[in-house]
Structure 1
Amino acid sequence: MKELKNIIIKISDNSTLSYKFFKSIYVFLVINFILLSGCSNLKRNEDLNICSSTKFPCLTSNEYVLLITNKGKIKLELFGKAAPITVGNFVDLVEKGSYNKTIFNRVIKKPYPFIVRGGGNSLIGDEKKFIDIKKGKIRYIPLEIKLKKNNLPTYGRVIDSSSQINNIELKHKRSYLSMARSQAVNSANLQFYILLKSLPELDGRFAVFGKVISGMDIVDLIEEEDFIIEAKRVDS
């Protein structure tokens, strides 16, 4: 348990996400109400279209995003079928310009390669980057993990049994993309991280939703305080 806590702190420490989540705990409760009602519907029908059953942004298609950084370009492929709410949230934020002029605020390469975390600490101090404009509040999304044997992802809970972990569709491998969160399970918002090496200890605990398909050499060059100039949705 202590090791897990340290891992989560490494990914989410000093983030706007963590601070505002605990300050606005009522938002978490509202999300869980929506999530639980949505999950009950999903359990009744495994063929239900997730995107027609949630108020979160949702995409079931593969999407592509280009991160233009001060070190070079990084192209991402996002897997909507396996992580529709996580991908929908990410693309929605990209299209709102939420990642433009934000820094890579946590880069861990020692004692071994770990992660590059992005999407935090706006260079221009625009708090609206973290806000769902329609509601005027931060939007938190549920932990979303899909098992190979299931038609739909699992929501709102950590997967910790060895048999289920072995069947996770998207795992924490080098070049893959996952959502950062605080210790609260359903607290992902804006920040994401790219894996610098395979980290199976994170499988089942964080939501993997894409991977770097070009520019991993650029990711390897990134240091803390490097930044995203622009993030934009692109064709394959």
Structure 2
Amino acid sequence: MRKLALVLGLMAASPALATGLQIEVEGEANGTITIDLLDDIAPQHVARITALAEAGAYDNVVFHRVIPGFMAQTGDVQFGMMGGDMRMAGRGGSDMPDLPAEFSSEPFERGIVGMARSQSPDSANSQFFIMFAPAPHLNGQYTVVGTVTAGMDVVDAIKKGAGRNGEVVGQPDVMKKVTVTE
């Protein structure tokens, strides 16, 4: 019920519950990434990620775009499932509508989690990325949704992309299980 109220914007004046994710990664990287979600600066995006994780939509979704020294992208619940046609990974989202931008002053530093989008600022849906290094050119241009609090060694070990624009070639690493924590 609390998440529903958050989505509807009814809880704006109340402090939000601390919500996070635990991502079990398998592949070249093996281990757990722990993320604190920042629902105080991106409540709609955090509600979306939380709903998708609770529904199991992120389980078995691959890291389809990984650019060394920049970021690792995942979360395509439509086309990014392990065993699917990886040529389509990164082009999809969920069956829910795109979200309006929730830009903040939070800088894109190492370990920051941001929402992927197309050229339209209001096109984020299910995909997100984790920063390997600072990227100030993203500040105020993409929605920050969280920060890695444990497991950056796992993030650093994710299989890097060797294809066009960081596309992972061959067997990608996968989010085997994504769990919501409170």
Are 2:40 and 1:84 equivalent residues in the alignment?
no
Distance across 1 between alignment mates of 2:42 and 2:6: 10
Using structure 1 for the length normalisation, give the TM-score.
0.59
Residue-pair matches, total: 151
Query: Relative contact order (alpha carbons < 8 A, sep ≥ 6): 1 or 2 greater?
Result: 2
SS of the residue aligned with 2:142? coil
Counterpart for residue 127 of structure 2? 191
Equivalent residue, structure 2, for 1:233: 180
| Structure showing the higher helix proportion among its residues | 1
Structure 1 unaligned residues grouped into runs of 5+: 1-48, 133-137, 147-167
Per-residue Cα deviation, 1:153-212 (whole angstroms, up to 9, x for no partner):
xxxxxxxxxxxxxxx1x2100001000000111110111000000111100110011011
Residue by residue, what CA displacement relative to the aligned partner does 1:83-141 show, whole Å, maximum 9, x if unpaired? Answer: 111111110110111110010000001xxx0000011211255xxx9444xxxxx4211
Q: 1:60: how far off? A: 3.5
Flag structure 2 segments of 5+ consecutive residues without an equivalent: 85-91, 160-167
Specify the alignment match of 2:58 in structure 1.
Answer: 99
CA contact (8 A) 1:60 1:79 kept: no
C-alpha contact (below 8 Å) 1:60/1:81 kept by paired residues: yes
Q: 1:220 aligns with which of 139, 142, 156?
A: 156
In 1: Cα distance, 2:107 partner to 2:148 partner: 14
One-letter code of the match for 1:140? D
2:103 to 130, 145, 152: 145
Equivalent residues of 1:51, 1:60 under 8 A apart: no
User: Residue type matched to 1:214 in 2?
Assistant: A
In structure 1, the residue matched to 2:165 is: none
CA radius of gyration, larger in: 1
1:61 alignment partner in structure 2: 17
> Pairwise CA RMSD of aligned residues?
2.2
> What percent identity do the matched residue pairs reach?
30
**Normalized against structure 2, the TM-score is what?**
0.76
Query: Partners in 2 of 1:61 and 1:234 — Cα distance?
Result: 10
* C-alpha spacing 1:96/1:124, structure 2 compared with 1 (3 Å): farther
In structure 1, what is the Cα distance between the partners aligned to 2:58 and 2:7?
A: 24
Does the residue aligned with 1:145 lie in a helix, a strand or coil?
coil
Distance 1:188 1:68, change over 3 A: same
How many angstroms apart in 1 are the aligned matches of 2:50 and 2:141?
22
